[in-house]
Structure 1
């Protein structure tokens, strides 16, 4: 574990050299910053991961159903759950998509659901990113760098391989 901790600087230097950045809005201004990487892994057991996976699948299904409803029946608006101006003034709303149904009703093929673990061990969702969820690229590039910095980790431990991510999509 000490070796991992000591290599954080090396990994972050690689990420900086590769231009791994993300943008945030703070006080109405867009700022770009380096993606911070923590070399110490957060191990999630298989059983906990399966539970999270079930919830994330359920959430993604609900988000796709929400988008379907917005562009078709509009029950969520008619029932007063969401004010119409919230939907129609959104930058992401596309009037030209009214009545359009993609194959299998999947509007969001990649859902970037920001998940953090609270101090009590529970999991909390910070936000859903359905526009251009770039978060998938961060673990891919981080693992690629870690394979160069610490190749033994991937031989000596049971880490799920993410190199086929593109094909899985």
Structure 2
């Protein structure tokens, strides 16, 4: 299986498709797309922010001394991270809070860590073909976070048309 590589600087991916791209290509029962365009874009946006935030765990060892490189009360990488990476971390955090704790880990595993649907079902001991629905629900919730519906501008009240009494007869001259 070819390994997918990504350049953080350019954001260009090469190699096999991500699980998100493969899910976006699936068809629903009605023949339309299983995943809406907004949900796919929301997943791509989360992946982009996750990559920009440099939140992917390190695979290699760091040869820098741990204790001498950080000050008191600071994280080891706090001085090395850029402002754009910090902003991306805030965006990822806000997005995961918005979808809720039930769906945040599903999004992280599927979109960011690129675990497949079968792997999600195996790890969580879900029934077969249930991860597809959970991922779709999580992506639709994420899409609603990124593009909330417009607020309703109409006045809302309990009365229907003509619910007010006609009092013009009281002011009519006899």
TM over 0.5: no
TM-score of the superposition, structure 1-length normalised?
Answer: 0.22
Give the number of the structure with larger relative contact order, counting CA–CA contacts within 8 Å between residues 6 or more apart. Answer: 2
Which has the larger Rg?
A: 2
